[in-house]
Amino acid sequence: MRITSLCVAAGAALLVLCLTDAKTQSVAAPPVKYTATEITPPAGVTSFFVTGMNEDGSLSANGTNGKGRQVALTRVGGVWTNLGLGFANDINASGTVVGQDAAFNAVAWNAGVPTTLVGLPPGTQADAINNGGEIIATQNASAFHVSSSSVVTSLGQFGTSLFIQVTGVNEGGVFAGFGSAKGGAQRPLRYAAGAFQDLLEGQPGATTGRADDINNAGQIAGSFRSGAADQATIWTGPAVHTDLSTPAGHSSVALGINNSGSVVGEVFKTGHGGREYASAWINGTLIDLDKATNNGALDLKSAREITDSGKILALSFSEAGLKFYILTAAGTTPGGTAELSGTVSGFTKKVTGRGDRSTVQLSGKLDTTNSGTAKMKKAAKATVFLSTDNVPGADLALKTVSIPALKEGTTRSLPLNSVKLPRGTDSAGKFFIIVLDTGNVIEEANETNNTIISAVLP
């Protein structure tokens, strides 16, 4: 994911109103508390801004050196490396950083060593990189795909935009971002199946917006404006969106999403004045990260990214400048804490009857792992939901599965036998969403990664 400073520079007033076709999420919030570790910039660097964080906490960042020049930075294993003059935009799981060098060439840094991306026009910058090494680069309104073997493909332009920015690319090569047309109005974009798509196309009342991150299920976190307020949302296609819960009289912005569908961003009073705070939407319910972290002592304004393990990149800002933090869920059980996660796969389909009297049954398996440092104190439940849009929310509960009290470091494969859909309902094109530890009866080190989203069902 590529993170920009635009939200901070604009006082977080970006992009609204929940539209009548939007689906509102409503799953109970887990009792999460966080601890914060400040990210200290390297010596001699000012105007410091973190642009990306990978699963192990490695960072890409930018700053200003003692001569007032912009430098690209990366931190791996707690050690900063100055990559030289330029801009660092994103980092993947291997620690590869992409951006632009001082000669305005798109570049990738591997272990601190720069490689110019050949075959791209002058002035191109590398915006985003996925874990497979695919890079999306942009020059003004044009986008380019650079494969892991350095093959460059021109992807064309996004509508009438004069400028586009890519904010994230998933493992399928689908990317998200936004374009700015004449007059400055922003439009959120997705590139999939060989074409650009305007995510606001056909969405009544929405005038402007931006897409800020995308996960491997194709869920896109972003925001749109309709009237005076900004609304955090998850898009799964043009005008197909799920608005995230926002207090009355407030605006919200979604900036990051992980592969479980957990979202982070910020909430602020619509208009001027009022409190602004970093936020997360876990299982669809809003969490005030500022109050949940260090008892509210840090005045966290924005959350920029969330990893699959639940680490959150957040920041505070004041007249003294920006401070960045990595937030981790705080476990409190003496002697260790359990940690549940899982995967679902192997579905087969059985249909009996015909037409509106037909019945569909699906069978597969749920692999559940306790990767924590303690045995589960009791058994737990997992609930299987049927979803039309792979976004957790007001979905249909189909079945409950028992999870035994797993020892630390163990995995149990649980059969999902004969999960029956309502009569006349087909599974094709739909999804199973499975929530582990229904009711949050197990204390875990991280309560934010208990949602599993299946591949498209047969």
* CATH of region 6-329: 2.130.10.150
Q: Which residues of 252-282 are buried (b: 16+ CB within 10 A; e: fewer)?
A: bbbbbbbbbbbbbbbbbebeeeeebbbbbbb
| Sequence spans of domains, the chain | 6-329, 340-453
pLDDT at position 395: 87
Tens-digit pLDDT string for the chain (458 aa): 655 543 333 333 332 222 223 333 333 334 478 989 999 999 999 999 999 999 999 999 999 999 999 999 999 999 999 999 999 999 999 999 999 999 999 999 999 999 999 999 999 999 999 999 999 999 999 999 999 999 999 999 998 889 999 999 999 999 999 998 777 789 999 999 999 999 999 998 898 999 999 999 999 999 999 888 999 999 999 999 999 999 999 999 999 999 999 999 999 988 766 789 999 998 777 999 999 998 788 999 999 999 998 999 999 987 778 999 999 887 544 456 888 988 999 899 999 998 888 999 999 999 999 888 888 888 999 999 999 988 887 789 999 999 999 998 899 999 999 899 999 999 999 999 999 998 788 877 777 778 899 989 99
Encoded tokens for 310: 């639940």
pLDDT at position 1: 64
CATH: 3.40.630.10, 3.40.50.300, 2.60.40.10, 1.10.3720.10. Which one for 340-453? 2.60.40.10
Encoded tokens for 126: 């590398």
User: Which residues have a Cβ under 8 Å from the Cβ of 379 and sit 6 or more positions away?
Assistant: 402, 403, 404, 405
Q: How many CA atoms lie within 13 A of 270 on its CB side?
A: 18
Query: For residues 242 and 231, is the Cβ–Cβ distance under 8 A?
Result: no
DSSP 8-class letter at 425? -
pLDDT at position 331: 56
Angstrom distance (rounded) from CA 391 to CA 348: 22
Residue 365 in 3-state DSSP? strand
State pTM to two decimals: 0.74
